[in-house]
Structure 1
Amino acid sequence: MLRVHFTGLDLARLRLAGGPDALWETVLSLHRLRDKQGESIFGDWRSETRTRLNGETRLLGPLVPSRGYFPDFLTPPEGVLGLESGMAAVRATAPERVHSELGRLTTARTLPGWIRSMAEGEARAFRKLIGALGAYHQAAVAPYWTHVQARIEADRAVRGRALLAGGADALLSSLPPMLRWRAPVLEADYPVDRDLHLNGRGLLLLPSFFCRRTPVTFQNPQLTPVLVYPVRHPTQAAPAVTAAPRSLGKLVGQTRSAVLGSIGGGCTTSELARRAGVSAASASQHAGVLREAGLVLTLRHGSAVLHTLTPLGAALLRGGDQSSMARGGAQSSMPERSTPATM
């Protein structure tokens, strides 16, 4: 179990990443490519990705083992700014840090010569690493980046709603089931027993598409604290449709009421259509009407869109509670306190 210890200052400095981190997604996808779990979620992705690879996993495999430790310098904070920024930060890692972190790798065989050369600061070895990371990312992650962004934005919408409703305490309580907030400690399912003391540095929460089952954090406790946790995927068990009050169906129509209840913690148009049992065109049309009525918010990521409930839409699904409507109403910008859907 991992125990993350907060102080009052840490709660004030709790942050949620603004989007996916290109290098965390790249490195964690290597784990997903080689394991056999989550076939319903990652099976098609694995099959498609393997057809595009050209030996990158063989090069990167010793550096990123199937399980356990991988060097912290592979996932610098700059990865959230994009792949190029992240790889520039990797390239600029101090040689003594590279040497130290590569020394912690536990492998069944001796590390390849080019990785040993990288530990000694050889520039050509770093160029080989950057080339392999870039090629792997283009084959395994880049073709799905819009979908990765949409799933992470859905998670951010849920966390943001919790933060607005109840502050840092509500945000930490809203995290997926493998994370349990027992103030002032956040407990997490983890492969080893470990304590992480934030000591006033705060914590960056980073939702991840390719993280699975347990969160991930840096091995070095001196680095800026980050906790990477898995988003919920549409095929995972979750209430797909919230039962809307009958009166809501009479007001907006049964199909539109079902569409509103199907949005849950956030979904794309195709996911919405599948949940509500309608065509994609119909789902898009109904979502547009609900958006114009102030019940749904639509965010765009490239060619994909993500639909989330507004506070008014969530209130209607709760049954149109008169007291909450009177306090918030359609004019309020703050959501009522509620338990966000678990992603």
Structure 2
Amino acid sequence: MLRVVVGPDDLAASRFAIAPIYELTHLLSKLDEVGARTPIGGMVRASRWAARYAPLRGSLDDRTLRSFRRTAWGADFISPPPSGMARTPADDIALIRSTPLRLAREQIRRALEGTGPVDDDVAALLARRDVVSRLADMLEAMWQVLVAPDWPQLLAIAKRDVLHRAERLAREGWAGAVAELHPKLRWQDGAVLVGARPDETVQLRGRGITFVPTVFLHPRLATLFEDPWPPTIVYPARGSAALWEPTVTVPGALGRLLGTSRADLLVRLETAASTTQLARVTGLAVGAVGDHLRVLREAGFVTGTRTGRSVVYRRTPIGDAVAAGAGEWSAAQTLPSRGRWGGEAQAGPA
């Protein structure tokens, strides 16, 4: 079991971050996995991502990138470490393009040592002087096809997760940060314990932990304590299943009482969210979401708290009771999602 020893300065040094291209890497690995299932139990091969990936499978770009996924020691430069919540896919691609050729060649060599032979055209591409820019082009193209159409919704899920975790971290310390993060994680005697890892002790020494929520890693957990990454725990974000679901289930009685849009928002506010985040995951205009939230707030069903430049909404105990009670009063009514995955709204790349 891996034991990550936490010192007195590590809580303040810890933070949350996103890693866009690393998210793409998780998705590609899941698409490679035979029999992989989604968080809601369906087959990944039947998902919209599998359909997007099908024309790319077996191409030179696909085989080149897959050669790095067959080894435990990856080429770090094609998956830049996270730096914060403001990181964009373009930032990651720019970092990849800035990699010195000498460093890229060394990492490629080490990564391929454990893969066995690669196709001749893959080997020829990896030997080119412009290999760094070619790999950046490949990742950018894969991103645009596979992830960019859903990035606004994915980002909203990650930010809602971070809001929830950060509140627990501030309120309860390390025990709150680790609780419910993943079944293989627990807090004990001043250390974060990671199950299913070789026996080892890591001393943070004031570096803290970077927590990275991800949608496509489910149900796994990733821990990275080697350079160039900061001490990092990558975990499945709360609400990840929403990205895989074609529908949102709302109790029929609640929809009749409040109207479908307000009922939809009340159900989604089981996890706190801002107006912008709710607009992204529902496909409603920001102004319309604000109007509905104002009504729900006046009715005492939700409350809002200013956090920086945003107002974060969450259900009140009355709202919880109404949402839960409505499910007992009537059979569930299924509403089409207004997000990209429901087909009604067309959200462009972030």
TM bracket, shorter-chain basis: 0.5 to 0.7
SS at match of 2:67: coil
Structure 1 residue identity aligned to 2:21: L
TM-superposition CA deviations, 1:187-208 (whole Å, max 9, x none):
2345655543322211111101
Tell me the equivalent position of 2:193. 187
Tell me the equivalent position of 2:37. 38
Tell me the equivalent position of 2:335. none
1:63 paired residue among 62, 68, 73: 68
TM-superposition CA deviations, 1:223-259 (whole Å, max 9, x none):
42222111132369xxx99xxxxxxx9xx98x98997
| Alignment pair present for 1:224 and 2:234 | no
How far the C-alpha of 1:173 sits from its partner, in A, is 2.6
Gaps of 5+ in 2: 283-287, 322-350
SS at match of 1:229: strand
Q: Quick one: structure 1 residues 37 and 188, their matched pair in 2 at CA, closer, same or farther if it must change by over 3 Å?
A: farther
How far the C-alpha of 1:33 sits from its partner, in A, is 1.4
Structure 2 residue identity aligned to 1:31: S
1:109 paired residue among 114, 117, 121: 117
| Residues 174 and 187 in structure 2, CA contact (< 8 A), matched pair in contact too | no
Gaps of 5+ in 1: 242-248, 273-281, 300-306, 320-343
| Alignment pair present for 1:159 and 2:169 | no
SS at match of 1:228: strand
| Residues 53 and 139 in structure 1, CA contact (< 8 A), matched pair in contact too | no
> How many percent of aligned residue pairs carry the same amino acid?
23
TM score, norm. by length of structure 2: 0.66
Correspondence 1:5-154 to 2 at 5 A: 5-17=5-17, 20-35=18-33, 36-39=35-38, 40=42, 42=44, 43-51=46-54, 53=56, 55=59, 56-65=61-70, 68-77=72-81, 81-102=87-108, 103-105=110-112, 106-110=114-118, 112-114=122-124, 116-117=126-127, 123-154=129-160
SS at match of 1:143: helix
Q: Quick one: structure 1 residues 177 and 29, their matched pair in 2 at CA, closer, same or farther if it must change by over 3 Å?
A: same
In the alignment, the residues of structure 2 paired with residue 222 and residue 22 of structure 1 have an alpha-carbon distance, to the nearest angstrom, of: 17
TM score, norm. by length of structure 1: 0.67
Q: Quick one: structure 1 residues 138 and 193, their matched pair in 2 at CA, closer, same or farther if it must change by over 3 Å?
A: farther
In the alignment, the residues of structure 1 paired with residue 23 and residue 269 of structure 2 have an alpha-carbon distance, to the nearest angstrom, of: 25
Tell me the equivalent position of 1:334. none
How many residues are treated as equivalent by the alignment? 287
SS at match of 2:241: coil
How far the C-alpha of 1:160 sits from its partner, in A, is 2.4
In the alignment, the residues of structure 2 paired with residue 15 and residue 30 of structure 1 have an alpha-carbon distance, to the nearest angstrom, of: 26
In the alignment, the residues of structure 2 paired with residue 41 and residue 285 of structure 1 have an alpha-carbon distance, to the nearest angstrom, of: 38
| Residues 269 and 284 in structure 1, CA contact (< 8 A), matched pair in contact too | no
SS at match of 1:207: strand
Structure 1 residue identity aligned to 2:117: R
